[in-house]
Amino acid sequence: MYKKWYYVCLIFVFVSCSHDIAHIKNAGKGKLKANYQLVKIEEKKFQLDSETAPRPVYTQMFKDKSGTELFTFFNSYNKSIYIYDYLSSTYIRSIHYDNEGANGILHPIGYYIKNMDSIFVYDMMKIEVALTDSSGFVRDRISLRNSSDNNWALYYPQYSLSTVNPFIERQGRLILTGFAPFAIPSENIDNFLFTAYIDLKTKQIEYHHKYPKALYGCNYNWEGGFATMVYPCLSHDEKLIFSFPVSHDLFFYDFKSENLTKLYAGSNFANTIHSIDHEQRRTPNELIMENYMQEDMYGAILYDPYRKMYYRFLLQGMPDAAIGMSTGEKPVDIIIMDENFNYLGETTIGVEKEWNWTNSFVTLEGLNIEYTSGEGIDEDYLTFKIFIPKVI
């Protein structure tokens, strides 16, 4: 009996991995009932100077010692963190970083303000985190690259930080979520770890968390970096959640082990998601872009502690999208869920070229999403539309 079951398992593995095209079905399509929708209630604008443009790569909300709620963002042009009073939209100050020298940071793209004496800045060029203060002085550097291994890029992540993919602090560690910028060969699926844990006391780094085999194994072709992005969220009960673009489910990871569980959190309208119909190597750019445009792709997951709800982004597929069509034409949809991840509804807010959805965050006022083009837009301001869920 044991041998028979063993051979059945071998056959199952062979059949499952002999196909190179993923078909990830949406079990809830057409079955979910909407009771809520997102409603735009107000607009918030932050005036910009002559060296600053909209669509910053990274923002962070931060409370100072007095409890004032500060809105901060990174200006990649002059390598500065700008700080505003969120409620009044008043500019307060900026923190500038040098390009060279002892305090040089070559390509900063994200940061975490723990306090004004401890600001962690990610340097994309050096693949390291610099510990700085509010004067721009670099106190320490933490390398995220395993320089002793020439093949380190096959097993360690790249990092594309944004407001919806931020540093996360938990229990004395900074969690930095990365991704594989390429389709993962089956032989590497058990070795590639996409999350770095930085111990704030020792500055030691541990790498954890593998891509789910059912989504990214079997030599499925997810080239281009769109489908392999990973979006983290700390849940209301301090669990680490990951949203993968190609999955209708959310994945919950154990901090102390590689155990994971999944829970359905899909759209009522999303279709079956397919990988690229081409071998992983030398995939033409036209096929990569065609797959991105035609397939539904999930984005970030955000928790709203004020309303005890979750918001999950979805970039809707356009099955008839022609080669060369701008990615900005993809509709942006937001799924609303309660604290138990029960579906409450979803709302399409527009298309990607109108909304910089990767620059979204939650405040007491509601869900803030950067609005980048359309009626009344003024590039002298960083503009956010604020949404709240309302009963239909």
pLDDT at 296: 98
186 in the Ramachandran plot: left (φ > 0), alpha (ψ -120 to 50) or beta?
Answer: alpha
Q: Which of the two residues, 17 and 310, has the higher pLDDT score?
A: 310
Token output for 79: 């390598």
Q: Are strands 195-199 and 366-371 parallel, antiparallel or unpaired?
A: unpaired
DSSP structure class, residue 165:
B
Q: What does the DSSP assignment read for 254-273?
A: -TTSS-EEEEE---SS---E
- 187 φ, ψ to 5°? -70, -15
Token output for 207: 């790498």
Q: Are strands 173-177 and 138-143 parallel, antiparallel or unpaired?
A: unpaired
- Count the neighbouring beta carbons within 10 Å of the beta carbon of residue 279: 12
| 321-338: average pLDDT | 93
Asked if residue 323 lies in contact with residue 332, where contact means CB atoms within 8 angstroms, the answer is no
Amino acid identity of residue 229, one-letter, is M
On the 0-12 / 13-18 / 19+ scale of CB atoms within 10 A, 268 is middle
Instruction: Summarize pLDDT for 34-52 with one digit per residue, the tens.
Output: 999 999 999 999 999 999 9
pLDDT at 311: 98
| Nearest one of 19, 27, 25 to 221, comparing CA atoms | 19
Amino acid identity of residue 58, one-letter, is Y
pLDDT at 18: 43
Residue 134: half-sphere exposure toward Cβ, Cα within 13 Å: 12
| 127-145: average pLDDT | 96
Asked if residue 167 lies in contact with residue 174, where contact means CB atoms within 8 angstroms, the answer is yes
Instruction: Work out the pLDDT band at 147, boundaries 50, 70, 90.
Output: low
Instruction: For residue 59, list its beta bridge partners.
Output: 73
pLDDT at 15: 35
pLDDT at 119: 98
Out of 15-24, 42-51, 121-130, 323-332, which region has the weakest mean confidence (pLDDT)?
A: 15-24
DSSP structure class, residue 365:
T
Is residue 177 predicted with pLDDT exceeding 90?
yes
Percentage of residues in the chain having pLDDT higher than 70: 94
On the 0-12 / 13-18 / 19+ scale of CB atoms within 10 A, 375 is exposed
350 in the Ramachandran plot: left (φ > 0), alpha (ψ -120 to 50) or beta?
Answer: left
pLDDT at 325: 86
Percentage of residues in the chain having pLDDT higher than 90: 84
Instruction: Summarize pLDDT for 257-315 with one digit per residue, the tens.
Output: 778 899 999 999 999 999 999 998 889 999 999 999 999 999 999 999 999 999 999 99
Is residue 9 predicted with pLDDT exceeding 60?
no
pLDDT at 34: 98
Is residue 114 predicted with pLDDT exceeding 70?
yes
> What is the distance between the alpha carbons of residues 312 and 217, in angstroms, rounded to a whole number?
24
CA angle 260, 112, 354 (to 5 degrees): 85
Instruction: Summarize pLDDT for 341-352 with one digit per residue, the tens.
Output: 999 999 999 999
pLDDT at 13: 35
> What is the distance between the alpha carbons of residues 374 and 371, in angstroms, rounded to a whole number?
8
Instruction: Summarize pLDDT for 215-260 with one digit per residue, the tens.
Output: 999 999 999 999 999 999 999 998 999 999 999 999 998 777 778 8
| 23-30: average pLDDT | 98
Token output for 310: 């979750």
Instruction: Work out the pLDDT band at 377, boundaries 50, 70, 90.
Output: confident
> What is the distance between the alpha carbons of residues 201 and 102, in angstroms, rounded to a whole number?
22
